[in-house]
Amino acid sequence: MKDVLRFLLTEAPDFPALDSVEAWWRRHLAVLPRFPLPADLALASGFRMDRMGFAFSSGYQAALRSLFPQLPADRRAALCATETGGGHPSAIETKLTPKGAGWTLDGVKTYVTLGTHAEELLVVASEGRDAQERNRLRMVRLDARTSGVTVEPLPPLGFVPEVPHAALRLEGVEVAPEDVLPGDGYTRYLKPFRTVEDCHVNLAVLGWLVKVARRCGWPVALREELVAVAVMIHAIALEDPSDPAVHVALGGALAQMHRALERCEVAWEGVDVEMRERWQRDRRLLDLASKVRAKRLEVARQRLAGGAGDD
């Protein structure tokens, strides 16, 4: 990790403003040759961004490469899970149906991050129910230009509005056998992605905050605390995301990160008005899925104590 740490502490913290998703992607790709490891990429690309929304986008892409290393590095990707009933495994109604030597895919995803700009789609779909009536999920990889795929832009959110979202309609999409990824769609992909995403998105945000802190002359103690939290989360990002001990460690690291952010509030008063107001608007992003994280942490504690836990 020493190379990315040195980058955070010595790289010039001034970069031109970004005015589009395409500009964000070019800057993200520029970091990739130097930092191919997803956790390093999240930190370094976050540092190079001019706002939290684009740092988040880089962390999201790094998370996808961590869990799906077969994805092309130069193509934007999106995980497509959420439907009308939410993102729980039982709520997935998109159907994967056998057809000849392959499959067809039909359904609607209601909320896809970066959906309007994604080139690779990772779609969670059901191939039916098992004997216990549990949804049997698979993960399908699609080119976003495949016939039968329709992307419908959604209005910007009230925070990180630079990050586009979309709904996805799938109608008779033909899927080759090799594009249905091996393993259970929930336990191998969807469930661990929640942890992988938390690690990489927060690393990217920390990278961006270190840049802000250095550029704006925040106290050295604050800057070094942010770097220390980044070191913790970076180490956790390299571990098995299905291990309950990893969830407990991540819970502690995220709590430390939030305490560090509270100590940064006074320093934000000395930042230029536009950047400070954008931070106040966008920090809501860090609290998304907080109930899911709390549940995951409690289940992990139960399992470590010898209980079964309940997903």
Query: Distance between CA atoms of 170 and 151, rounded to whole angstroms?
Result: 9
CA geometry: angle 154, 292, 193, nearest 5 deg: 70
Q: Which residues contact 208 (CB under 8 A, 6 or more apart)?
A: 46, 47, 49, 51, 52, 55
Three-class SS state of 140: strand
pLDDT of residue 300: 94
Give yes or no for residue 46 having a pLDDT over 90: yes
Per-residue pLDDT band for 66 (boundaries 50, 70, 90) equals: very high
Query: Distance between CA atoms of 170 and 108, rounded to whole angstroms?
Result: 6
Give yes or no for residue 311 having a pLDDT over 60: no
CATH 2.40.110.10-classified regions of the chain: 77-180
Instruction: Determine contact, residues 77/68, Cβ cutoff 8 Å.
Output: yes
Determine the average pLDDT of the residues in 64-85.
Answer: 96
pLDDT digits over 98-138, tens only? 999 999 999 999 999 999 999 999 999 999 988 788 899 99
Q: Which residues contact 26 (CB under 8 A, 6 or more apart)?
A: none
Query: Distance between CA atoms of 171 and 164, rounded to whole angstroms?
Result: 23
* One-letter amino acid of 34: R
Per-residue pLDDT band for 262 (boundaries 50, 70, 90) equals: very high
pLDDT of residue 50: 95
Q: Percentage of the chain surpassing pLDDT 70?
A: 98
Instruction: Determine contact, residues 278/51, Cβ cutoff 8 Å.
Output: yes
| Cβ neighbours, 10 Å, residue 116 | 15
The pair of structure tokens assigned to 139 is 């993960």
pLDDT of residue 221: 96
Per-residue pLDDT band for 308 (boundaries 50, 70, 90) equals: low
Longest Cα separation, the chain:
64
Give yes or no for residue 289 having a pLDDT over 90: no
Query: Distance between CA atoms of 208 and 255, rounded to whole angstroms?
Result: 18
Q: Angle between the 52-67 and 273-282 helix axes, to the nearest 10 degrees?
A: 50
Q: Where are the beta strands (DSSP E) in 74-214?
A: 77-80, 95-99, 102-113, 120-129, 135-143, 149-153, 165-175
The dotted CATH code for 77-180 is: 2.40.110.10
Determine the average pLDDT of the residues in 198-204.
Answer: 98
pLDDT digits over 270-280, tens only? 999 999 999 99
> What's the chain's Rg over C-alpha atoms?
20
CA dihedral 24, 237, 294, 76 (to 10 degrees): 30
Give yes or no for residue 307 having a pLDDT over 80: no
CA proximity to 64, closest of 217, 219, 201: 201
Instruction: Determine contact, residues 60/114, Cβ cutoff 8 Å.
Output: yes
pLDDT digits over 149-197, tens only? 999 999 999 999 999 999 999 999 999 999 999 999 999 999 999 999 9
| Cβ neighbours, 10 Å, residue 297 | 18
pTM of the model: 0.95
Q: What mean pLDDT is reported for the chain?
A: 95
Number of H helices, E strands in the chain: 10, 7
The pair of structure tokens assigned to 290 is 């907080």
